[in-house]
Amino acid sequence: MKYNPNIHHRKSIRVTGYDYSQTGLYFITICTQNHHYLFGEIKNDQMLLNNAGVHANQCWADIPQHFPNVKLHEQVVMPNHVHGILEIVGANNYSPSIPQRRSPSKTIGSIVRGYKIGVTKWFRTNFKNKFPVGKNVWQRNHWDHIIRNDNDYLEISQYIQNNPLTWNNDKLNRSGE
């Protein structure tokens, strides 16, 4: 179904006109549906991955096998979300102003979609279509930030590395609810 603003009332969180296939660094956050804890737990400031978390971590590590134009940087699987820095190398020459019949295959969106599909297939295989949280593993969409300079990169890298240490204050930590 084509997007219709009169029906869907969605506001894009993407930078208008930005080419998400161009060379650069991107900070990505992908959350589970309703922020359910699917990938493990934090104990003693350490993320302890369960089987789903191990698979989610492996799927992330496998991204360059499916997208050879991607290099991985810092990454962490948390109980209900995944943070990572992806680097796209080599321009793809995609222009968002030119209508496309389908999504370009080397954009941040397609990389995230491929990752989500890999993790979701694991859940379908291991839970026989009975996910612990209903029919969806992931929230619709993802959050991304275009990393524009070295300082930005260093701050985000530290944030990712320290995410398990700061879990008690994390806005995605729903354990107190």
Range of the domain at 25: 5-165
Q: How confident is the model at residue 4 (pLDDT cuts 50, 70, 90)?
A: low
Residue 105 lies in a domain: yes
Higher pLDDT, 2 or 126: 126
Q: Is residue 172 part of a domain?
A: no
Distance CA 83, CA 78 (A): 8
Query: What is the tally of structural domains in the chain?
Result: 1
Distance CA 165, CA 46 (A): 7
CATH number at residue 103: 3.30.70.1290
Q: What is the pLDDT of residue 98?
A: 46
pLDDT in tens, 83-102: 999 999 975 544 445 444 44
Percentage of the chain lying above the pLDDT 90 cut: 58
Q: Which of 82, 71, 83 shows the shortest CA–CA distance to 138?
A: 82
pLDDT tops 50 at residue 39:
yes
pLDDT over 90 (residue 175): no
